[in-house]
Chains A and B, each alone.
Chain A
Amino acid sequence: MNRERVAQCIRRGAITCNEETTLHFVAQIMVVNRIRYCVVLNNNREVVGFISSDTMINAFGKDFGTAKAKDIITRDSITTVTLSTPLRDAVTLMSREGVEHLIVVSDKAGSRAVIGMLFASDIIAYMAEEQEQGAVS
């Protein structure tokens, strides 16, 4: 399980919002789409970071009606990987940062366009499959 890349487990596409969106609206986006994350983009549609339901909890005490997404995001520098990142590195990043999703951007240098998401749930499913096929010892 050392040669696998992020591309193997990625889900294409992502639910996004603008950095100026209010937290109340972000909560509604999550609930309507039944997801626990929302990728935050700036006006040029470049990734700025993401918000998960856990980050939302940490924002309690703010007024959700006026606070903006950009006030509470987990910055993209620690939450993005590219298609060619080794899966092991992505898993290490997830466990270290305590997140369950990573944003996948294209391999092009300096690219900030979202391609899809990497979910912990897909990695767990992949680990179980590898175990069934005897790929680990």
Chain B
Amino acid sequence: MRVCDLMHKGVISCLADDSVYDVARMMDDNHFRSVVVVNEGGEVWGIITYRELLFHYGENLSNKKAQDIMRPYRIEVDPQWPVEKAIEFMIRSKYYHLIIVDPHVGTKWPVGILTSFDIVQYMAGLEAGHFEQLLRLGGEVL
């Protein structure tokens, strides 16, 4: 099983100078837990999840820009990675939303998102007794 088999294809994105209020509205309207911050060329710059927004509770969201609160994102997760590698990466980095970047396009365009829930969904579908094959962790990472 590969990352591209489980990921959500396509991402919700915003520009670095969009206001935080717009980002909050975007998340609420689309029921998305994360928004990818991209530059004018469409390349990944950072990510904003609920956690980044909660730090600004009670503040004026219109005065702030997405780039002020985003978490910089410099990791490149390949859609061809095996799921185990992505899981191990999540555990180590504590990033539970991985932005998937297609390495063959040249520019760092986001092609999808893999969240912890996507993996839990896959686990739920496995029959009992099949876990060992998936969970043989400890292989090489990055």
Chain A residues within CB distance 8 Å of chain B: 1-2, 24, 27-28, 30-32, 36, 52-54, 56-58, 60-65, 87-88, 91, 94-95, 98, 100, 120-121, 123-125, 127-128, 131, 136-137
Contact = CB atoms under 8 A, between A and B. Distances in A.
B116 A53 contact: yes
A74 to B, nearest CB: 14
13 contacts: A24-B128, A31-B120, A53-B96, A53-B116, A56-B119, A57-B87, A63-B135, A100-B50, A124-B54, A127-B24, A127-B57, A128-B21, A137-B60
B33 interface: yes
Contacts, number: 116
Interface string B71-94: 000000000000000011011001
B contact patch SS: helix
Interface residues of B, number: 41
Main secondary structure on chain A at its contact with chain B?
Answer: helix
A65 B135 CA distance: 12
A96 to B, nearest CB: 10
A137 B63 CA distance: 9
